[in-house]
Structure 1
Amino acid sequence: MAKLTVNKHTLKPFGLDAKPVIEKYLAKLDVDISDYTFAANYIWLANSSGFYAIINKCFCLFVMTGGELTMLLPPLGKKKHVTEAMVRCFDIMNKNNSSRYYARIDYVQASMIEAFVQSTDEGESMFEMLEHYIVEKKLVDYVYEADNLIELRGNSYHTKRTEINKFIKSYADHRIEVLDSVKHHDEIMHLFNKWVSDRVKYMPKEEAELFLDGIHQERHAVKRMLKHYEELQLIGLVIYIDGELKGFTAGERISADTAAVIIEKTDFEVMGCAQFIFRAFSKMLKEHYGSTYINVGDDMGFENLRKVKMSYRPFKLVAKYTIYQK
């Protein structure tokens, strides 16, 4: 992918060589949102064009969609540099885009919004700048205490324990393996395609069309995840029943005390499989990273997914905002 030059700023392709660059900036931040990792962005940009630049001493990540530039993350850097970097980033987007209304900054953590508002740098403060910008709450990440997901104690987890116990009794021959991106590649893609087909069967036609639009991107993300699994430093599990792969999951570390589940897919026809592999992977994440908390990402606006994630009793919901221009 070629570099992109906009308003005298050179934006570099967001490839594997950007991993140590963005991680240097992320290491200085206190964030627990699942989107704030190299792997999360690199995987989901599999079917898009990502670009980055260091602007006002901040790492700035852009994505090009249909010729229009937006930002996947706010500028990553010290508080005193972020506000000016944001202004410059909007200027870059405006210079490239066909309309200034396409420009936006996604996945902004609440603490960063507060930092913008409380900016005391020389010149225009973010409080004054809010006259020119709109901050809109979008989705929330679901964060759980790892021990709760592993132990499933108390009445609130009774249903989860029952589902797991039924799974163990019904599929005594199940086995779990550490995910191997080469060994398990074809079986994972086969299960992913079956998962898509099963989901569509039970959806209203109008929902299915919307679902399939998004699933195209997710299929490319899974392929990229498997292709660069080692370089991305991910960990994962797969589960077999009667010698057939029926579930897979992968994740990574976000911060010193928080790990994230990037993706999880199981066969709908195997009752209790999703609950079983989720608990097993929660244990793996805690043991591998020493994580106290596990972030499973947002619900993408799907009500059914929201209900499932709420049923596990999240420790906290971490809001994510988008910044637009007025």
Structure 2
Amino acid sequence: MLEFKKLTLDTISEIAPYLELHPQRICDWTIGGTYIWRDAFRYEYAFGAGNLIFRMRIFDDECAFTVPLGGDREEGMRLIQEFCAKCDGEHDLQYCIVGDADLPVLKEFYSEMDICEERDYFDYLYEVEELLTLRGKAHRSTRNNINRFNRVYPLNRLRVIDQDIIPQVHDFLDNFIKKTAETNEMILEETKKIHEVLDNMETYRAFGAALYAEEEVMVGFSMGEYEGDTLYVHVEKADTDYRGAYQTLMTEFVRKFAHENIIYVNREDDAGDPGLRKSKLSYNPICLVKKYTVKNLVPK
């Protein structure tokens, strides 16, 4: 029977090799995407039939599993079925963070299922070249904001986050949250984990950069990681009092970290926020990486 354990930073070395096997460019299948949200969604993990399997809580505290990753996936699904059966109905089996490439795997094992698109959690995937050149009418507003920022703050610069400025980034984040109009448990949990990433960047395999409008005036920072041909941007915070800071931060961060082997940038989802959705669509994504929840499963 599967034995689920709590995720901690000490488990990253165990988990990371399995995440690297996922080919779908889904942000949840990265170290940052998993560990930043591990407590918010109460992640647990188990290994079975050569697979990594997550169990977590989603939506109204419902239990969900991820499609087995890494080994004999059909046997992994049998183990999940067995686990749920032995829990005396405590868990109605459903799968979350299901990508397009996972659906055929599920359809091989289950004769019936309900597939629900989770639009609020689709990832925004961009081509590096698109974000660096910002050509065409679609990017006119972005170009204008960047040009204004450069004109008003001609001494602005991007600095890689290192030990010397980590304390300043911590302070910026705390002040950023204090100025946030609305906070909730998710925002506070994310903030807590961003502080954790800053203090454990090597463990997270993360990197970052801060944007300065003037010599010592930090106006934003971003953090991310690489997986395959994709740069994942997990954190992006900027002071909106400095018009154009977000757009400048986005472009300069990609310019700094998108080396020649990086083709795509994943800027994660919009969580259903209308303003964030409008903003992320304005950068002209090459596609939205779909995610599904699959429930009401009937094995063959």
AA partner of residue 252 (structure 1): E
AA partner of residue 122 (structure 2): V
1:46–1:189 distance in 2 versus 1, CA, 3 Å: farther
Give the drift of 1:226. Answer: 1.2
Task: Report the counterpart of residue 179 of structure 2 in structure 1.
Answer: 198
Task: Report the counterpart of residue 83 of structure 1 in structure 2.
Answer: 74
AA partner of residue 116 (structure 1): L
Taking only aligned residues, the RMSD between alpha carbons, in angstroms, comes to 2.5
Give the SS at the match of 1:44: coil
Identity %: 25
Cα contact 2:157–2:212 (8 A) shared by 1? yes
Cα contact 1:69–1:93 (8 A) shared by 2? no
Instruction: Tell me which of 94, 106, 114 is aligned to 2:96.
Output: 106
1:67–1:176 distance in 2 versus 1, CA, 3 Å: closer
Cα contact 1:60–1:76 (8 A) shared by 2? yes
Task: Report the counterpart of residue 222 of structure 2 in structure 1.
Answer: 249
Cα contact 2:2–2:47 (8 A) shared by 1? no
Q: Deviations over 1:17-72 (max 9, x none)?
A: 4323333223333221111112321122255643221112211122368997533x
List runs of 5+ in structure 2 lacking aligned partners. Answer: none
Give the drift of 1:302. Answer: 1.0
> What are the residue-to-residue correspondences of 1:50-69 with 2, within 5 Å?
50-63=43-56, 69=63
> What are the residue-to-residue correspondences of 1:1-326 with 2, within 5 Å?
8-46=1-39, 49-63=42-56, 69-71=63-65, 73-78=66-71, 81-93=72-84, 95=86, 99-101=90-92, 103-117=93-107, 119=108, 125-126=109-110, 128=111, 130=112, 133-138=113-118, 139-180=121-162, 182-200=163-181, 208=182, 211-242=183-214, 243-255=216-228, 257-287=229-259, 290-325=261-296
Higher alpha-carbon deviation: 271-280 or 86-95: 86-95
Task: Give, in whole Å, the separation in 2 of the partners of 1:222 and 1:96.
Answer: 35
Give the drift of 1:298. Answer: 0.8
Give the drift of 1:140. Answer: 1.0
Task: Give, in whole Å, the separation in 1 of the partners of 2:22 and 2:105.
Answer: 12
1:244–1:170 distance in 2 versus 1, CA, 3 Å: same
Give the SS at the match of 1:112: helix
Give the SS at the match of 1:299: coil
Give the SS at the match of 2:196: helix
Q: Deviations over 1:225-265 (max 9, x none)?
A: 1121111211111012331221010111122x211101100
List runs of 5+ in structure 1 lacking aligned partners. Answer: 1-7, 120-124, 201-207
